[in-house]
Structure 1
Amino acid sequence: MPQQVLIVDDTEINLILFGALVKKLDDCRAQVFDDSRKALAWVTDNVPDLIIVDYMMPDLDGLEFIRLVRDMPGHKLVPILMITANDQKEIRYRALDLGANDFLTKPIDKVEFLARARNMLSLNQARKHMADHASWLSGEVRKATQEIVKRERETVYRLAKAAEYRDPETGAHILRMANYSMLIARELGLSVDDQQLILEAAPMHDIGKVGIADSILLKPGRLTAQEFDVMKQHAMFGYELLHGSSSKLLQAAAEIAKGHHEKFDGSGYPNGIKGEAIPIFSRIVAVADVFDALTSERPYKKAWEVETAVDFLNLGAGSHFDPACVKAFLNAWDDVELVRNKYQEDPLQAIEL
């Protein structure tokens, strides 16, 4: 595609001369205007490869023309060659401040005109090639990053699947509680990236249960105090399994695994921390996890009525749960019900809302 050279000059003979010179440049086409305002209107819809503009013009002079062009989106780097009289040094200084790149002085030397125009066009082409290369590199990085994220998600899926094989309380449970967690994060005003992160990390909240003996993990009745002490170790088992990774996803999952059994009043485990000292992802997952556990039927218990489970959350706000997380969960109730209906006790599916 030919390079476009915009020529703006109110003198017809200059337009004829400059247009003829531009034709001598390789693969160039001249757009000529004797009215600077019409030229400005053309530039609004086009990005030329070079602008050649005279200073002395009626109504809209060259300085104002340059200023207005530079204010247009996408026109900051268009090379501008300004034509001035030999004694107009102050004008050239002002033009440089406004964004002119080079100058020609009257009377115009044809050889100098061609050399300066050719050089500016070549530099502009090189800049465009660099921009295209940078865009290509950015695209390649984006694709590589997406591949890493895809592998991380597969890791999450397989780890969550491993927990499902050992723990009858998983399956669709991890899908519901992960989506509940995302809804709470949304209502709390967390960033979209954090909402996605907790959606993908929450399924690993109980991965540490792979380290708990079947005699305790699968016991149908109530655990003894000693057995419960063993069961509580799953929080740290999960943390030890996941922490230390350079992956932001696995770091978040490790934080959730360790902290989702902490209670807002400090009576939880494994570390007995309280309030906002508990990481926000752990506080969110605590609400999502307990609600779904209460409202799900298991071999050792019947499902609670939803209203009863909501009452439990409200009663526990400030003691067991972060009140802000409980409020956020209830504020998203319409979406909560959509999640409950979508994810039933079926084999593990892809995690999505």
Structure 2
Amino acid sequence: MPEQRSMILIVDDEGSSRRLLTALLQNDGYETLAASSAQEALARLQDRRPDLILTDGMMPQISGFELAARLKADSRYANLPIIIVTAFDDRETRLHALEAGVDDFLGKPIDRAELRVRVRNILRLKEYSDRIRRNNETLEITVRQRTAQLHDSYLQTINVLLRAAEKKDEETGAHIQRIAYYCKELAQQLGMGTDFADLIFVASPMHDVGKIGIPDPILLKPGPLDAAEWVTMRTHTTLGANI
């Protein structure tokens, strides 16, 4: 007996085959839905989401192979496993099924033991696949949250450095802020995109933040700097890069 009541959609134009498969699968503990055609199966999928589709290969109008191909081409059902039930076991039929995206085959007449094993294995693979997908989705959310936290921390660090620069030299602090807005405006005017404009807005203030490491007598000197002082002043770019 399966641990959970997985739902299986049975698609077959022959009533006797639908009833047989329904009885066998329900006896194994599965919940079942039945459709007498591919069109009815597609309609049922609008309301219910089965864990597996068991479809006859040869049906009028839309065959089981075409049904499988349509579903596999639809992103909503691409991961929905499909087993084709067919009386044909030749190479051409199997290739046709594989090209349609079928996950497994079941021969006619139905062998109960084979049915049980193939259904169980397909549902087990689906469970593993669903678990991996959920884990990946959780990981993506965690990564996005962590990235946002790092971005916020980066902005906070820049703001702290800007405030430190302003405390030491109001002109440098104001200059840094002006450059940030100028760079963002230029990036937007050049069509660089919103992401780049936002990035340059937060990165450009760092260009002069190294001045907080310049000694006050040089940074705040009211008159011209001498040659030695200019050498020291020019190190602010290296200091900023290190910061």
TM-score, normalization: structure 2? 0.86
Instruction: Provide, for residues 264-309 of structure 1, a one-character-per-residue CA deviation record: whole Å limited to 9, x for no partner.
Output: xxxxxxxxxxxxxxxxxxxxxxxxxxxxxxxxxxxxxxxxxxxxxx
Distance 1:198 1:231 in 2: 28
The Cα shift of 1:177 comes to 3.3
Q: CA offset at residue 33 of structure 1?
A: 0.5
Match of 1:189 among 186, 191, 195: 191
Are 1:11 and 1:34, in contact at CA under 8 Å, matched by a contact in 2? yes
Deviation at 1:170, TM superposition (A): 4.3
The alignment yields a C-alpha RMSD, in angstroms, of 2.5
**Match runs of 1:81-230 below 5 Å:** 81-171=83-173, 173-220=175-222, 223-224=223-224, 226=226, 230=229
Q: Aligned residues: percent identity? A: 35
Deviation at 1:45, TM superposition (A): 6.0
Number of residue pairs matched by the alignment = 240
Q: Could you tell me which residue of structure 2 aligns to residue 71 of structure 1? A: 73
Task: Quote how far apart the aligned CAs of 1:231 are.
Answer: 5.2
Preserved contact between residue 4 and residue 49 of structure 1 (Cα < 8 Å): yes
CA shift for structure 1 position 219: 4.1
- Structure 1 residue 165: deviation in Å? 1.0
Shift of 1:242: 2.3
Check the 8 A contact 1:181/1:199 in 2, yes or no: yes
Q: Secondary structure at the match of 1:169?
A: helix
Specify the alignment match of 1:4 in structure 2.
Answer: 7
TM-superposed CA distance for 1:225, in Å, is: 6.0
> 1:5 aligns to what SS in structure 2?
strand
| CA distance 1:150–1:63, change in 2 (3 Å) | same
Partner of 2:27: 24
Distance apart, 1:102 and its partner CA? 0.8
Residue number among 37, 40, 63 corresponding to 2:39 in the alignment: 37
Residues 181, 198 of structure 1: 8 Å contact kept: yes
Q: 1:63 is matched by which residue type in structure 2?
A: F
Matched residues in 1 for 2:57 and 2:28: separation?
A: 23
Report what 1:296 is aligned to: none
Deviation at 1:52? 0.6
How far apart, in 1, do the equivalents of 2:82 and 2:234 lie?
65
CA 1:233/1:94 → structure 2, altered by over 3 Å: closer, same or farther? farther
Q: By how many angstroms is 1:111 displaced?
A: 1.8
Q: What is the DSSP-based 3-state SS (H/G/I as helix, E as strand, rest coil) of the residue aligned with 1:100?
A: coil
User: Does the 8 A contact of 1:211 with 1:234 survive in 2?
Assistant: no
Change (3 A) 1:169 1:231: farther
Structure 2: any 5+ residue segments left out of the alignment?
none
- Return closer, same or farther for 1:180/1:14 CA change in 2, 3 Å cut-off: same
Amino acid of the structure 1 residue aligned with 2:125: L
Query: How far does the alpha carbon of each residue in 1:226-249 deviate from its partner, in whole angstroms, 9 at most, with x for none?
Result: 37x845854542334424xxxxxx
What displacement does 1:216 show?
4.0
Q: Secondary structure at the match of 2:16?
A: helix
Code of the aligned partner of 1:226: D
Separation in structure 2 between the aligned mates of residue 175 and residue 225 of structure 1, nearest angstrom: 25
The aligned residue for residue 62 of structure 2 is: 60
Change (3 A) 1:87 1:127: closer
CA distance in structure 2 between the partners assigned to 1:193 and 1:235 by the alignment: 31
Query: How far apart in 2 are the matches of 1:202 and 1:176?
Result: 10
CA contact (8 A) 1:208 1:235 kept: no
Which protein, 1 or 2, shows the higher relative CO under an 8 Å CA cutoff with sep ≥ 6?
1
- Judging changes above 3 Å, is the alpha-carbon distance between structure 1 residues 232 and 17 closer, same or farther for their aligned structure 2 residues? farther
Q: Is the 8 A contact 1:47 1:74 kept in 2?
A: no
Provide the secondary structure at the position in 2 that maps to 1:198.
Answer: helix
Consecutive unaligned residues of structure 1, counting only runs of 5 or more, are 244-249, 251-353
